Amino acid sequence: MSEPPEQPVEGSRRPVVTVPLIVAGVCLAIPFVAMLWVGSYSRLTPTLAGVPFFYWYQMLWVVISTMLTVIAYVIVRHHERKHRGGEVR
């Protein structure tokens, strides 16, 4: 005999993957790919104010990563507010 399906516990819902959450995940994954692809930046030229490309490229990614993390955070917070139907603090 088959057993009845389990009833969900109040307040627990299965997470739903939506396009905004995928975009947020991509925003968080881009810096990892950029830094792990060492062949794209393992060179000395072009220099910027005498600083080799290898160094200023990585410093540029610090700023880009910060911006992408903020974008992902805003997307996720907006998604939570929309799906929970209330203010999130």
pLDDT tens digits, 16-41: 788 999 999 999 999 999 999 988 88
Contact 25, 41 (CB under 8 A): no
Domain range enclosing 73: 36-80
How long a stretch of residues is the chain?
89
pLDDT at 89 over 60: no
Domain count, the chain: 1
In a domain, 49, yes or no: yes
In a domain, 44, yes or no: yes
Q: pLDDT over 90 for what percent of the chain?
A: 52
Does this model's pTM top 0.75? My answer is no
Query: Do 23 and 75 meet the contact criterion of CB atoms below 8 Å apart?
Result: yes
Tokens read off for 32:
């990892």
pLDDT at 62 over 60: yes
Within a domain: 40:
yes
Q: How far apart are CA 10 and CA 20, in angstroms?
A: 26
Place of tokens 């692809």: 37
